[in-house]
Structure 1
Amino acid sequence: MAYLNPAEFVTKMVDSGESKLLMSTRDTLIRSYMAGAILALAAAFAVTVTVNTGNPLIGAMLFPVGFIMLYLMGFDLLTGVFTLAPLAVMDKRPGATWGGVMRNWGLVFCGNFAGALTVAVFMAIILTFGFSEAPGAVGEKLGHIGEGRTLGYSAHGAAGMLTLFVRAVMCNWMVSTGVVAAMMSTTVSGKAIGMWMPVMVFFYMGFEHSIVNMFLFPTGLMLGGNFTLMDYLIWNELPTVLGNLVGGLTFVGATLYSTHYKTAPKRKVS
């Protein structure tokens, strides 16, 4: 598979960030809606596999199919634009501003949430025959995932919030590494392999992904999970968004940009 060196793929990262900032509102919303929907379906698939096989590793190994599909189709996740969009401003690209970054992040958040919520409603209907009967094993699992990842954190107070935040940072460290890994190759197989590895790590390790949670938690609420909408927002979604931002921008975007795009002067050997 064709491999691009770091200087080449980091240039592609900056170019991608610029493209996302200049994209129309319509296209941004469509692409982010589809990304949220496809990733949500992949999460439903992974949970189903985990329940049916009793092996979480198999679910984690198969979850990246959704991430790979949405990336190859040019759709946008909030976790990805957290990492890429600011690079265009750092590089002083024409028309790239922090206001444009905030606009892009806001639109992608709304699109991702709408797409994930659509699949959440569809899955709740499927798992309950249109809310006419109790959910089966997969529905039970989806219904209770949100409890441990909201009430479980809140039970530990500040320590729980810190743990949630760090898990979100680690998540987008891995997910954005997958976004960048796709830019290292010019072939479909190379992109798929590059994305698969870090995304599998994040899912199996139980790190917190804001868009996956946009599916899991609304589904849980519809299927009888013992937590509230405010529990979800305060003890998961909002801190997860912030942690995803810090993880992707700090550990992936800024580090690669600073060392492979804006490299420091070489040492002088006397």
Structure 2
Amino acid sequence: MMHPSTLCPREVTELLSNVGAQKGNMRLDKTFMSAVSAGCLLAFACGTVLSTNATPWFQTNAPGLMRTISALVFPYGLCMIILTGADLCTGSFMFTTIAALHRRLSWTKMLIHWGLTLLGNLAGSLFVVAVIFGYGDVFSADPFRSAVISFATKKQIAPEFHTILLRGIGCNWLVCLACFFGFQGQDLASKVIGIWGPTFAFVSLGFDHVVANMTFIPLAIWVGAPEITVGLYIWKGIIPTLLGNIIGGGLFCGTYYWYMQLLDINTLPLYNTKAKGVSSPDSASHSDEVAVK
């Protein structure tokens, strides 16, 4: 039996389907601005991770400990994003996939939402990198500048394309689980705890998040990382990470939970029910009731 302050997995999946439909049908300007906000909020958390890593002695003698500490503080970024309702493209890979499979959102609108949130996340991240961190001289002096360059170099230079792609799968698998748990809890403490655990896991394992890389790599370019270029960032910081994140969020989470929880529910499509002259079934009404709790 589930605790009264939590939803069961089927209720959560229905809620995520409803959220995905709402996000996919949002006005485009609002979607973009929401994504800009999410990019900014995650950039702040990325900055905290880089500041935490600016400890040369510990990086040399206790690298595992420093990665664990960084992983403990980073999740506040995702907490701010989910609790404020901002749009992170990696979470949207799960939300909108469930909504499309559940016939509540067209595949075209899903893809438009993915592209728009990705661009908005990039705009927000670059704003914080350039204006707040860059002109604010947050990472201009050592050991912080060296930490930024070292961190980005390890992410971009050494790993191969397929390695980054696989890390991207693991990353968004865990990030979308954090979103799932965040929606499962019905009080603030439950939401924060649910978000914190899987987010801690992906950072502690060194996985790759496409939006986090929008801060880590451009900031390294800003402070003068000698081996990192814009072309290299696009080739190894965006493309494999994005593909991996789509697979992890859309397939390993979105498709899986739709298959396990909603496949047997005969839900008619909400986006064209009026055209067909049918009413929404009980399952759709139930999920709408859950969404407004």
TM over 0.5: yes
- Residue 244 of structure 2 corresponds to residue 243 of structure 1: yes
2:73 equivalent in structure 1: 62
Cα 1:18–1:145 shift into 2, 3 Å? same
- Contact 1:146–1:232, Cα closer than 8 Å, also in 2: no
Which of 38, 41, 44 is equivalent to 1:35? Answer: 38
Q: Distance in 1 between matches of 2:25 and 2:138?
A: 42
- Contact 2:183–2:191, Cα closer than 8 Å, also in 1: yes
- Residue 136 of structure 2 corresponds to residue 126 of structure 1: yes
- Residue 27 of structure 2 corresponds to residue 24 of structure 1: yes
Provide the TM-score with structure 2 as the length reference: 0.82
Cα 1:244–1:33 shift into 2, 3 Å? same
* Secondary structure of residue in 2 paired with 1:43: helix
How much has 1:135 moved relative to structure 2?
A: 2.4
How much has 1:211 moved relative to structure 2?
A: 0.2
Provide the TM-score with structure 1 as the length reference: 0.89
How much has 1:145 moved relative to structure 2?
A: 2.1
- Contact 1:35–1:70, Cα closer than 8 Å, also in 2: yes
Q: Show the 5 A alignment for 1:61-210.
A: 61-93=72-104, 96-121=105-130, 122-127=132-137, 135-153=141-159, 160-210=160-210
Q: CA RMSD in A?
A: 1.7
How much has 1:125 moved relative to structure 2?
A: 2.4
- Contact 1:178–1:196, Cα closer than 8 Å, also in 2: yes
Aligned-residue sequence identity (percent) comes to 27
Moved more, 44-53 or 234-243: 44-53
* Secondary structure of residue in 1 paired with 2:208: coil
Q: Which runs of 5+ in 2 are unaligned?
A: 59-65, 266-293
Q: Distance in 2 between matches of 1:223 and 1:51?
A: 14
1:219 equivalent in structure 2: 219
Letter of the 2:67 counterpart:
P
Q: Which runs of 5+ in 1 are unaligned?
A: 154-159, 265-270
Q: Give CA deviations for 1:23-75 in whole Å, capped at 9, x if unaligned.
A: 00111011110100000110101221232594221111011011101110010
Equivalent pairs counted in the alignment come to 252
Q: Distance in 2 between matches of 1:263 and 1:197?
A: 30
